[in-house]
Structure 1
Amino acid sequence: MASAIRGMWHHLSQQPESYERKHYYTFGRVLGAGTFGEVREAVFNPDGRRVAIKVIKKTALSTDEQMVLKEIDIVRHLHHPNIVKLLDWFESKDKYYLVFQLCTGGELFQKICDYGHFTEEDAAKLIRCGFESIAYLHSHNVVHRDIKPENFIFLDSSEDAPLMLADFGIARIMRSEDEILNTMCGSFGYAAPEILLRQGHGKPVDIWSLGVVTFSSLCGYSPFWRFEDPRSLMIAMQSDNVEFVERFWWGISEYAKDFIRRCLRANPNERMTAEQALQHPWLSGEHTATRDLLPDVIENFNARATLRRAVLKIQAVNRMRKLSLNHGSDSSGSEHNSFDSDKDHPSYESNEKEPADEKPKESLPGGWTG
């Protein structure tokens, strides 16, 4: 009887049929929010399981509703112990609801900073998890395209919790090994040079991005941190000359440096594949130095976070000044849209991101932390 009444209500209210599944969930606190919507913690009522529900406003997507449907199509077929699972999805007239496995252990770099001791071997174990998830994706012809520390989160707070890859909002399935993707995508500081140069891209972009994550996990800063203007940055990224500053890289093995260099080849055809990376001696953990990296990592993380906050404040003031100057003019609202699109990549409890005047297209909200 109750089901029939709900069905009649959905028909009268013009709600999609799948919207009926919403009553299975009790929504709780907001885990994060962004331009496209928010991520809410929720309880699956039949068994009391905690989940994360990504709520995406259709109006915010404009003509990009296909992005959500593509994400659903990709993630529902993925089954790997280091990839966040899509458990369910449904929609209303004005929103999409994507129900994911809830991860409560915190982001990758947050967890590193919480360690009392962090060595190369620890880093190699974490990075190996990342490459195992990427190797799985690539074996199924999926390119993630937004690999960055914020998208690696721990399942729970236990000492041996698995590291999970999340947020497939801009992932794509390649129809063949030769297919070339051309969309501007990814996150500033982690996007591969072929994306920024609009040369077309494929699976190697994930290797580049995870190479940047590897570098940062060992020292606390980006390999291209000193290049602030786009021209200098692109020259550095194409040079195949990764700089390992002695002050922070002393005592770190040559195996680690070789691994990073092989990930950060400017020519995507010269980069390691994910499978080759898993065979590299550094990821075995047998060729790692024992120095405690944590003091330098935390020092550089904190310095970078302070700089980011300062730059973001300046950028916000400048954008508000632009908005006030354009107020009342005959504009289409493009300034307002620009302001919105420059928000931090949304939906994680830790929201600090690399500042940039221009960013490639960002993915939809994808927070999983609790």
Structure 2
Amino acid sequence: MGNMRLGGMAIRYSQFVPKLYNYCLSLGFEPGRVMPSRAFCSDENQGYPVILLTRHFGTFPFDHGVVGGRVATDRHGPYAHHGEDLVIVQASHVGYVPEQRRFGVYQRQRTAHNEFGACCGKLSGVLDWYEREYSHACNDVQLGSIDGTPAVFIDNALLDSHRAEGLFLHLERLIDVAEPTPLQVMSTSKAFKASPWLQAALGDFDWGGVRQPIGRRLDAAMFFFHRQPVPGAEGPDLLEEAIAPAIPSLVTSANPMLDAARYHTQIEFDRTYRTLQREPAFEGKNLLFVSGLNVDVSPRQGLLFPLTKFVPWAAYARLRDGRDFLLESTANDHEIEFDAAIRTMSNEEGVELPAL
């Protein structure tokens, strides 16, 4: 996920939004004329950041996002007509349960039994199919030996290169290309001499032991996916298409949902930044675009809202005087007093995120 780290970077929304407002003023934005916009997922736990944006900027923010936190770049023109000083906040999001140090889930307090559900549900829905394919492959590729020769046993379905979609193995990394003929042909699989690359990658694996599935040893360098994004009511799934290059790394990650959210944040900033540079509707206006990750910590007993934290990634400013510049995220070593307007939230014991 590049340099997007959580440790030392996460800041509560109760601190982030007033800092953002003050930074806008330092750029020459005029109080009372700043029009905020948010590109968040439609999940209800994204409402708390919206409340804080409304409170500090004095108006309900323009809706610049679609499900999953993707920026609706076709709304730039209409948005530009809503204010003279413009600030867009984009964030993908991920749930977090501090008691379990677990990313990707969030407690839905309005359900019958306060169940924990996927968060972000959209990213989870996209990853589900790929995770199932990966799980099958972890079992359908097995390791062992034949007559003392390290061997990899591969299900025939994974050897079918004519499939329309699925997980496809980088066979040249698993099978010794110098000896591609199967060592053994079975009813539903074939065994091949393991490649030197695979033997080196698996280190001290005991090839002479009991034959066993490769399991999580099947890493992202050993396979790729092929699948057409699933069409929906609004056409092909653009979020699935966007994260497709990273999916092998995501399904093998210890925190798939976290890594999916921060990867999506990174590519959304890059994509949106380029559209903002070229949008004529922003001529003569001040514009600040801030991108990061919302970490949704389920509200504790008696609290109405999540303890949402913002992890900054990057920002882009395009100002009325002709200046434009990028801001890259750096470690935040400063603290400020919590916002008195949300004192109940601020006085709660802090939740530290792991440095991933």
**Greater fraction strand:** 2
**Superposition TM-score tier, normalisation by shorter sequence:** under 0.3
TM-score in terms of structure 2 length? 0.23
Q: Normalising to structure 1: TM-score of the pair?
A: 0.22
More helix by share: 1
